[in-house]
Homo-oligomer: A and B are copies of this chain.
Amino acid sequence: MRATIVGLPFHDSTIELAHGAGGKASRRLIEGLFLPLLMNPMLAELHDAALLATGHGTLALTTDAFVVRPLRFPGGSIGELAVNGTINDLAVSGARPLALAAAFIVEAGLSSDVLRAEVEALAAAAARAGVPVVTGDTKVVEHGKADGLYIVTTGLGFVDPRLRLGSGFVQPGDRVLVSGPIGDHGITVLLARGELDLEADLVSDTRPLTPFVDALTATAAPGLRWMRDPTRGGVATALNELARDTGLAVVLEEEAIPVRDAVRGACEVLGLDPLHIANEGQLLVVVAPEWADAALAALRSVPGGQDAACIGTIETHPPGVVTVTTAYGGRRVVDMLVGDPLPRIC
């Protein structure tokens, strides 16, 4: 559906935090180092999940490493995130989760109670989503060689045959919807580190997106073109990838984008744009214009989706670029995240 993209060779001499932050540096690493070596058509798609046609339906497979710091934050923890994040990669690929695998890398000296709490959180999130954890692995590294706990989860699902999703289906005139307020997760985790002299009444939005996708599929399946879970790099990065892949323009209305006051306030103090902040429970959808109202109603019908909004339109100009129209009628370009203001956010 999408042209194979291999970027310029990767010439940075060392790997730095920004290479893991989901923005431009990550993209350069993936396209310049990983893709040329591991080249195959499925990987080159760079979707949230790989799709494998099996003759008995299409399987979706996705893997994610979770290294969030701190392990617990308001509204969630690494164990819950590790389940929801992977289920969400399946969900936005149009796949119904079938099973999860979980690998734990534990630092020697970690309190067993901390590990138990995270396995409990992971088990509870999996039970809530109705997906069994069917296999796992545990490794222990020396004290000082991991910080506490890393979790890698892999999700397997079958793609819903009613859905045809991909940037190749996106057309001028399509609408861009989001399921709710953006930036809650990233700002919550950043503040939970206690390194900034800032407080806010915020919790992470970590949750499974499956109910949103189910509601959309039930009422607007033929109109759905593209879905994404805007985690690292935020809404801006996901939409920049869409603009780049399609050569189309994404034009956002700033006034329409739901952002909580606490997130907006923290972003202003920190010099960040809420569009760059990670979400762990928001769905971005591109939908055909005639299905936009039905899709928006479907999102709003799901608990937690009452603030869903239509935030923009796909246009032809400027090609390959995301812009946002401000309340005063101005227009600015929204680029991908360049630096790394928010390492270890998931």
A residues apposed to B, CB below 8 Å:
10-21, 26, 29-30, 33-34, 37-38, 40, 42-43, 47, 49-50, 52, 54-57, 59, 61-67, 98-99, 101-112, 115-116, 119-120, 122-123, 126, 132-142, 144-147, 150, 152, 154, 156, 158, 343-344
Closest to A49 in B: B135
Q: Which residues of B contact A142 (CB under 8 A)?
A: 17, 343-344
Residue of B nearest to A152 (CB): B152
Quick one: given A57-B56, A101-B61, are A139 and B14 in contact (CB under 8 Å)?
Answer: no
Query: How far, in whole Å, are A102 and B56 apart by their CA atoms in the complex?
Result: 24
Interface CB pairs A-B, < 8 A, 22: A14-B109, A15-B107, A15-B140, A16-B140, A17-B141, A18-B140, A19-B140, A20-B106, A33-B115, A38-B136, A40-B132, A42-B99, A43-B135, A47-B135, A61-B101, A62-B101, A65-B103, A101-B154, A103-B152, A105-B152, A152-B152, A156-B156
Contact of A13 among B11, B13, B112 (CB under 8 A): B112
Residues in chain B near residue A102, CB distance under 8 A? 38, 63
The 5 A-B pairs of least Cβ separation, nearest first, read A20-B140, A56-B56, A50-B134, A63-B101, A154-B154
> Whole-angstrom distance from the CB of A134 to the nearest CB of chain B?
4
- What is the bound-complex CA distance between A112 and B40, given in angstroms? 22
CB neighbours of A109 from chain B (8 A): 14-16
Partner of A156, one of B38, B59, B110, B146: B59
Residue contact B33 to A119, C-beta cutoff 8 Å: yes
Q: Find out whether the CB atom of A14 lies under 8 angstroms from the CB atom of B111.
A: yes
Tell me, in angstroms, the Cα distance from A343 to B30 when the chains sit together.
31
* Given contacts A13-B111, A133-B40, A19 and B138 within 8 Å (CB-CB): yes
Q: Are B15 and A152 in contact (CB under 8 A)?
A: no
Give Cα A84–Cα B156 distance, bound, in whole angstroms: 21
| A56–B67 CA distance with the chains assembled, in angstroms | 36
**Chain B: minimal CB distance from A26 (Å):** 7
Known contacts A54-B56, A56-B54, A139 near B67 by CB under 8 Å: yes
Selected from B13, B15, B134, the residue in CB contact (under 8 A) with A61 is: B134
CA A324 – CA B79 in complex, angstroms? Answer: 43
Given contacts A15-B140, A50-B101, 14 further A-B contacts (CB under 8 A): A13-B111, A20-B141, A43-B132, A54-B98, A54-B158, A55-B56, A59-B156, A63-B137, A65-B138, A67-B105, A67-B141, A105-B105, A141-B150, A150-B150
Q: Once the chains are docked, how many angstroms separate the CA of A10 from the CA of B106?
A: 16
